[in-house]
Amino acid sequence: MPVWAEIDHAALAHNVRLLRARAGDAQLMAVVKADAYGHGLLQVARTAVGAGATWLGVAQMPEAFALRDAGITTRLLTWLAVPGADFAGAISRDIDLSASAPWALDEIAAAARSVGRTARVHLKVDTGLGRGGAYGPDWTTLVRHARPLEAEGVITVVGVWTHFAHADAPNHPTVLTQQDRFFEAAAEAEREGCRLEVRHLANSAATLLHPSAHADLVRPGLALYGLSPVPQVDDDFGLRPVMSLRARLALVKRLPAGQGISYGHLYAPEHDTVVGLVPAGYADGIPRNATNVGPLAVGDTRTRVAGRVCMDQFVVDLGAGSGARAGDVATLFGGAPGEPTAQDWAEMTDTISYEIVTRVGARVPRIHVNQSPDEAP
Ligand SMILES: *Cc1c(COP(=O)(O)O)cnc(C)c1O
């Protein structure tokens, strides 16, 4: 295998248990959208449920269908549908749906009538993120649109929910104003007659830092995967990284001082040196702007990308004394002490660790390790 992502299910289960403990009485929804942030949807979902997640959450309906069609029966919410989406397919698969606008309630209701089942709906309120959800007076309109559909028996409003703009900035004033607005909106829905089962707003950062936002259910994503949503805070919360991205050197050779390396010759060793060829490139999700900066570990050597990251490969400078050989393992990021982290890659490439793990390409096999026997696929 030239390049692979090792997915450590013991670390994942540890993180789920740790987040559950932080969440107190709230239930835990494991957010497994985007192929579980690149880690593998079904495998991650099974381990998360085995470790105590009582809900799963995904953005897109096809992701929810994939979970159900694989036999996963855990309570499941999907939240980002467009007009014409297969709401009937979702209802018949017992998937909870989100609505931010009356059109969504109407489509869900029509689908529920057609399949002869009641749809479970979570109304989304925009408390100040300025993205999804019903904003301002639209909230009242949304709630009042839902009530007759509940009376008809085609939907039941089981949840009210929102999402933070600045949960990752622990002391940002909007965290509290959004939270206040949220509980006010939920209370309004209850005054109008909704009988809410779950009110939920906490992502990873709020799960870790804002107990007052835990409400009935927390929705961590990134922290499940062992990455800190608040890297500026000097605390890893005891999380363990789940993904390690590794490759085997495809070639090791000597190059003389001054020989430019890779496209554009953006790197040239000052002294004669030994270089290794890493068979992973931007097609595999390695950021092209990791050119000359992406950190790696090869054996005990810490080194960097030397020259351009290409589509399928890049070079590392191992130093003149290197005894590395073709086939040796290079770790781009991992979980063990001394290995570079996804957060290191994020900092070197001006992004966030979410993007580093989620962008790992379809060509990179996920190797699942430490799965407990009853969670293995
Ligand atoms: C992605 C997402 C989450 C998880 O966010 P993290 O910051 O990864 O914990 C929670 N809720 C919603 C609506 C999301 O889209």
Q: Tell me the sheet residues that pair with 237.
A: none
What is the Å distance from ligand 1's center to 196 Cα?
Answer: 21
133-153 residues labelled b (16+ CB within 10 A) or e (exposed): bbbeebbeebbebbeebbeee
Tens-place pLDDT, residues 328-377: 999 999 988 889 999 999 999 999 999 999 999 999 999 999 998 665 55
**How far is the centre of ligand 1, averaged over its atoms, from the C-alpha of 283 (Å)?**
26
Task: Give 90's contacts (C-beta < 8 A, 6+ positions apart).
Answer: 61, 64, 65, 78, 97, 111, 119
Confirm whether residue 20 is marked as ligand binding.
no
Q: Is 33 labeled as catalytic in the residue annotation?
A: yes
Q: What is the pLDDT of residue 374?
A: 60
- Of 33, 37, 267, 282, which residue is the catalytic one? 33
The residue from 37, 263, 267, 282 that is catalytic is 263
Catalytic residue check, 253: no
Pocket of ligand 1 (CB under 6 A): 31, 33, 59, 79, 163, 203-204, 219-222, 229
Statement: residue 168 has pLDDT above 90: no
By C-alpha distance, which of 251, 281, 285, 257 is closest to 269?
257
Q: Which amino acid is at 201?
A: L
Mean pLDDT of 284-288: 98
Among 163, 218, 227, say which to mutate for ligand 1: greatest number of ligand atoms within 8 Å of CB.
163
C-alpha separations of 346 from 12, 83, 157, 233, 353 in Å: 21, 35, 39, 16, 5
Q: Are 224 and 19 in contact (CB under 8 A)?
A: yes
- For the chain, give the mean pLDDT: 97
Task: Determine if residue 131 is labeled as part of a ligand binding site.
Answer: yes
Rounded CA-CA distance 238/8 in Å is 15
Minimum mean pLDDT range among 79-83, 105-109, 231-235: 231-235
Encode pLDDT of 64-96 as tens digits: 999 999 999 999 999 999 999 999 999 999 999
Domains of the chain: 9-225 (3.20.20.10), 243-340 (2.40.37.10)
